[in-house]
Amino acid sequence: MSSKTMRLNLKIWRQKGPKANGKMVDYTLNEVNPEMSFLEMMDVLNQQLVERGDEPVAFDHDCREGICGMCSMFINGRAHGPMTGTTTCQLHMRHFNDGDTIVIEPWRASAFPVIKDLMVDRSAFDRIIQAGGYISVNTGSAPDANALPIPKENADMAFDAATCIGCGACVATCKNASAMLFVGAKVSQLSLLPQGQPEREERAIRMVEQMDKEGFGNCTNTGACEVECPKGISIENIARMNREYLRAKLVQK
Amino acid sequence: MSVLNSKIPAGPLADKWKNHKNSIRLVNPANKRSIDVIVVGTGLAGASAAASLAEMGYKVKAFCFQDSPRRAHSIAAQGGINAAKNYRNDGDSVHRLFYDTIKGGDYRSREANVHRLAEVSVNIIDQCVAQGVPFAREYGGLLDNRSFGGVQVSRTFYAKGQTGQQLLLGAYSALSRQVSVGQVKMYHRHEMLDVVMVEGKARGIIARNLVTGELERHSAHAVLLCTGGYGNVFFLSTNAMGSNVTATWKAHRKGAFFANPSFTQIHPTCIPVSGDYQSKLTLMSESLRNDGRIWVPKKQNDERRPVDIPEDERDYYLERRYPAFGNLVPRDVASRAAKERCDAGYGVGQSKMAVYLDYASAIQRYGTLEANKLGEIQPSAQRITELGTQVVASKYGNLFEMYAKITGDNPYETPMRIYPAVHYTMGGLWVDYNLMSNLPGLFVLGEANFSDHGANRLGASALMQGLADGYFVVPYTLGDYLADDIRTGSISTQDPAFDEAERSVQDQINRLMSIGGSKSVDYFHKALGKIMWDKCGMARSEEGLKQAISEIQALREEFYAQVRVPGSANEMNPELEKAIRVADFLELGELMCYDALNRNESCGGHFREEYQTEDGEALRDDENFAYVAAWEYGQGKAPILHKEDLNFENVKPSTRSYK
């Protein structure tokens, strides 16, 4: 454990509101402890900004455990920063060096408009789930949980897809701002489970249509989403979604 | 006579809920269409309630302060959810789950509520599986279980270390389905800042649109608060940064009683504090105590690396003190035992405020089993470690990764360092059996109410309670209340009560914005947290609590003179959001100290130093304190205590022993 502190040069995107023009602003931060998380470093900066009468940098964050999916910074050209399998809140300053310049921007995609500074509006993801990312079962009508055995392998694959935290790193990192990893993960989870079969076709079609309507781009198989996904969601899920969509179109009544 | 009527139905314990459901009033489907319900908070309790009520036909408005209902902090729950399914054939039953929960809560919860919770636990698992929640399964395709602290059966269902996430996403998907058909109108990035009482009934809320700063009025026939716990009063806790008490505190100021506010759960296995910049603490799931062993060196200030300390120089203090339950004692017991060792000078790590959670022997045990399974004869030590590591990774991989990311250490090779941290609050708004507060029409669900966990919550029971309240309790009990409202018609937001509530919210915002001091909101929040942790945390004393009350009062004065909230109120302003929340914490903290001071006994998570046995265990006083302490807001003076006596007709309170 090193107790040596660092001095950092930060270049941060500042934008007053959704319609305002934004710009990069330079800040210098001294005495950054390598044991801090990235967001704690931002807290220290904000604390200093408040104390000297400036406006702190607005950014989304909540659980700080890498699971809620709220944090969303583009750090040195990478979604959630330099480490793989890591959300911004779980990124620690020990991965940076004294004297580094760090460029911090919001997710950039036309389907994710900036609200303020580093905060963006990701409600498009909610609308995609609303279009079909569920199994239609009313409370109280479920059969016994063990009535339907599910092969462990399928359950595990469904789980792996279901770990998506909806942060939007896949969109932010994709040159086409495609949301296919996000959509593919949900389509896969539900199509792999027997409970998801009755609505399988309708779900694939409706979710893909909503995704297109929101203005997300297409997938050109560069695979950047898989690399940047903090939960390691595989692009196999995109392939499965494409198969599900094709199948649905073929059998559509 | 007490002003509190718990409305516990008559009859034998096991029949109360069934009989109650059969006798309460219903609202017919056509009438449900003309009834509005507001649900504040979209975690497990809120999302499940909003979805279920919408499915039934009510018109629901749901609110969350995050950018999506899927972010609620239920998502961070790791270990699992209990249900009395008895799929393991190990003797589990509804009665045992009821008994364990009552005992685990140190006999400070209501029998009837807890029994109902145990009854509906089995329905929750069914419901979640039907929604597509991918619980862990065995090779035969059926659901897997594990065990948690304070119990001797395996009844915990789980999805790796992400059970809360999967359950919340299940509830979120049910909620999303109702949004898509228009039965729920979802308001994200909205924070409730007051409850509106019209002619003595909760009829709406004032919410602030966090993007534009506008104050909005929303009316309904009933208001459900599903806003979680208030652990962030300690500043450092395992709660999310945004978790707050504001919704329930505003309701408290409007007359809702706050019950057992000092009952706080300090979770034994969290990653220790590393510096004063620390913003939150991270939990390592209790499920790790299934296989991990907790120890400290037998020698004080032992500077050796943990792997260099031989077996006979280690003190596995939980196994030593509590042989029957060992590392799986309940949370309050495990936390105090860790504090005791560290205070006595046996702590480890730089701060000396940590103990080891060691997986070395589990890796060896699993490695040997796995080698046997694979038919490998006389495997090398290296091979056993390799196989054992794989098994441990498959069970706890994400937790180990998280630990490695935060600390920079590899927990497969060196023991984890852990220390207790604030995790959950058993206290909350007082509710009756129907989950309604003493304010008519104001219902409180999940962690936000006080109802089921007494003085200590058992692991894997928070998810159970949130979903029980939302899926299976309030859909029934709310109908009974709303049966009077079928002819009411929609509630006008032009009522003077809305004017008055909006004005008071606006006044508070104006006041905070105009102070223009020199200190940040976090400065005050940290100062409050330190007072609370030192004097109203794991150990409390009369003297300390009295000091804390006067220190909090002074801090509150300083806050209103010295805080600086930058920016304006008519825009996205995270500092203003924090200021409003911290203002409420500054009042809640004082109430918690009053409650802790009043309770001259030790029970569950509440440990008064004056009341302990010779060997340092909690000393309960059933004769004088077998009651729920429900506090009425003091309107600037000391809070007023109301007592609800707890009657144990089925379980005889005894001294909890995990030895």
Does position B149 have pLDDT exceeding 80, yes or no? no
Range in A122-126, B1-5, B401-405 the model is least confident about: B1-5
CB-based contact B262:B246 (threshold 8 Å): no
User: Who among A92, A130, A135 is closest to B179 (CB)?
Assistant: A130
Shortest CA distance from B143: residue in chain A: A146
Q: Give the Cα separation of B388 and B402 in Å (integer).
A: 19
Q: Do B188 and A85 touch (CB under 8 A)?
A: no
Say whether pLDDT at B171 is over 50. yes
What was the pLDDT predicted at B630?
Answer: 98
A122 interaction partners in chain B (CB closer than 8 Å): 67-68
The model's pLDDT over B547-589, given as tens digits with 9 standing for 90+, comes to 999 999 999 999 999 999 999 999 999 999 999 999 999 999 9
Rounded CA gap, A57 and B567, in Å? 11
- The residue type of B205 is I
Residue A134 in tokens = 């569920």
Residues of chain B with CATH 1.20.58.100: 496-623
As given in the structure block, the two tokens for residue B386 are 């390799």
3-state secondary structure chain A: CCCCCEEEEEEEEECCCCCCCCEEEEEEEEEECCCCEHHHHHHHHHHHHHHCCCCCCCCCCCCCCCCCCCCCEEECCEECCCCCCCCHHHCEHHHCCCCCEEEEEECCCCCCCEEECCEECCHHHHHHHHCCCCCCCCCCCCCCCCCCCCCHHHHHHHHHHHCCCCCCHHHHHCCCCECHHHHHHHHHHHHCCHHHCCCHHHHHHHHHHHHHHCCCECCCCCCHHHHHCCCCCCCHHHHHHHHHHHHHHHHCC
Cβ distance B402 to A64 less than 8 Å, yes or no, reads no
| Residue to test with chain A: of B119, B165, B191, B524, most A Cβ within 10 A | B165
Return residues 320-359 of B near A (CB < 8 Å): 350
* Most B CBs within 10 Å, among A63, A72, A138, to test the B interface: A63
CATH code 3.90.700.10 region(s) in chain B: 268-422
Q: Give the model's pLDDT for residue A188.
A: 98
Cβ(A114)–Cβ(A15) below 8 Å: yes
Q: Is B460 left (phi over 0), alpha (psi -120 to 50) or beta?
A: left
Considering CB atoms only, which of B162, B164, B405 is closest to A86?
Answer: B405
Give per-residue pLDDT as tens, B507-554: 999 999 999 999 999 999 999 999 999 999 999 999 999 999 999 999
DSSP B9: P
- Both tokens assigned to B578: 């924090």
pLDDT per residue as tens digits for the range B50-96: 999 999 999 999 999 999 999 999 999 988 999 999 999 999 999 99
Per-residue confidence (pLDDT) for residue A3, from 0 to 100: 60
Give the mean pLDDT of B617-639.
95
| Residue range B455-488, pLDDT digits in tens | 999 999 999 999 999 999 999 999 999 999 999 9
CA of B168 vs chain A CAs: smallest distance (Å): 10
- Domain A6-116 -> CATH class: alpha beta
Residues 6+ apart with CB under 8 A from B349: B272, B417
Q: What residues form DSSP beta bridges with B194?
A: B206
- The proportion of chain B whose per-residue pLDDT surpasses 90, expressed as a percent, equals 92
- One-letter amino acid at B645 equals D
| pLDDT value of residue B238 | 97
pLDDT of residue B150: 77
3-state secondary structure of B304: coil
Containing B22, the helix (H) or strand (E) segment is helix B16-23
- For residue B456, the 8-state DSSP code is S
pLDDT confidence bin for B608, thresholds 50/70/90:
very high
Mean pLDDT across the stretch B5-33? 97
Band (pLDDT 50/70/90 cuts) for residue A1 is very low
What CATH code is assigned to B268-422? 3.90.700.10
Q: Determine contact, residues B90/B53, Cβ cutoff 8 Å.
A: no
- CATH node for A122-251: 1.10.1060.10
The model's pLDDT over A186-236, given as tens digits with 9 standing for 90+, comes to 999 999 999 999 999 999 999 999 999 999 999 999 999 999 999 999 999
pLDDT of residue B1: 53
Contact at CB, A137 and B282, closer than 8 angstroms:
no
- Nearest neighbour of A64 by CB, restricted to B143, B279, B519: B279
Interface subset of B 47-66, CB within 8 angstroms of A: 48, 51-52, 55, 66
The ranges of chain A annotated as CATH 1.10.1060.10 are: 122-251
**Which residue has tokens 């993007």?**
B211
Please judge whether A68 and B73 are an interchain contact, meaning their C-beta atoms are less than 8 angstroms apart. Answer: yes
- What is the dotted CATH code of the domain comprising B496-623? 1.20.58.100
Per-residue pLDDT for B418 more than 80? yes
Q: Is the pLDDT of residue B308 over 60?
A: yes
- In the numeric block, the tokens 């941290």 are attached to B421
Contact A145 B125 (CB under 8 A): yes
Query: What is the overall mean pLDDT for chain B?
Result: 96
Position B148 confidence tier, pLDDT thresholds 50, 70, 90: confident
What is residue B274's predicted lDDT score, i.e. its pLDDT?
A: 87
> Where do we find the tokens 């045990």?
B365
* Residue of A37, A86, A193 with shortest CB distance to B132: A193
Active-site annotation of B, residues: 331
Question: How many Å from the N-terminal Cα to the C-terminal Cα in chain B?
Answer: 40
Q: Checking DSSP bridges between strand B640-645 and strand B627-632, what pairing results, if any?
A: antiparallel
